[in-house]
Amino acid sequence: MVLGTSLAVFTVIHVALSLIGITSGFIVIFGMTRTKRMPALTALFLATTLLTSLTGFLFPFKGFTPGIVIGIVSVIVLLVAILALYGGHVDGAWRGTFVITAVLAQYFNFFVLIVQSFQKVPALNDLAPTQTEMPFKAAQLFALIAFIVLGALAFKWFPGERRKRSHSSLQSRSTTSN
């Protein structure tokens, strides 16, 4: 039992959160490359991806696994993304911070999807039963390259928030420059 549900039900919830996070994440990142801001989908992406990582820690496990490391790093990256979006309003340096951390969080979630797919889907498992074979490595390399390209495009095109400066801050700048 996990959180009062059977392990099977908890797994379905975890996988559903993950797939919602991955789907909404791709929509958000593709939107970034087209200079589109999508506040509702971005919130959905960040929330479901964070919940995916957090629920991953509740599965029974033995020892410190690579999945736990990815989960810890993902939570940290997501917290920085949330801070950049809601605390920094993607203004100035927070824009780049948000883009990089959002794309990185999506990559981590997608990375785990590839790992799980090669473990659980029989046809993929037959191609790479130990995940050291070329099909697995090629899938991970392709994903990494795709995320680097998407991240670069998002970094280039995603608009930061243009907040109006107060009259007093503009006035203090003009008096200090004289």
Q: Roughly what angle, to the nearest 10 degrees, separates helices 93-120 and 66-82? A: 150
pLDDT in tens, 25-60: 999 999 999 999 999 999 999 999 999 999 999 998
The partner residues of 30 in beta bridges, in order of sequence, read none
Q: How far apart are the first and last CA of the chain?
A: 69
Average pLDDT over the chain, rounded to whole? 91
Instruction: Work out the average pLDDT over 51-78.
Output: 93
Predicted model pTM: 0.87
Q: What is the pLDDT of residue 1?
A: 81
Percentage of the residues of the chain whose pLDDT score is greater than 90: 81
Per-residue DSSP letter, 2: B
pLDDT in tens, 113-122: 999 999 999 9
With CA atoms as reference, report the closest residue to 42 among 51, 29, 55: 29
Closest CA relative to residue 74, chosen from 95, 96, 46: 46
Per-residue pLDDT tens for 95-108? 999 999 999 999 99
Give residue limits of the domains in the chain: 7-162
Angstrom CA distances, 143 to 41, 110, 160, stand at 22, 8, 26
Reduce the DSSP state of residue 5 to 3 states and report it. strand
Give the per-residue SS3 of 92-157. Answer: CHHHHHHHHHHHHHHHHHHHHHHHHHHHHCHHHHHHCCCCCCHHHHHHHHHHHHHHHHHHHHHHHH
89: tokens are: 């309003």
DSSP code for 37: -
Supply the pLDDT for residue 47: 98
pLDDT at 173 > cutoff 80 = no
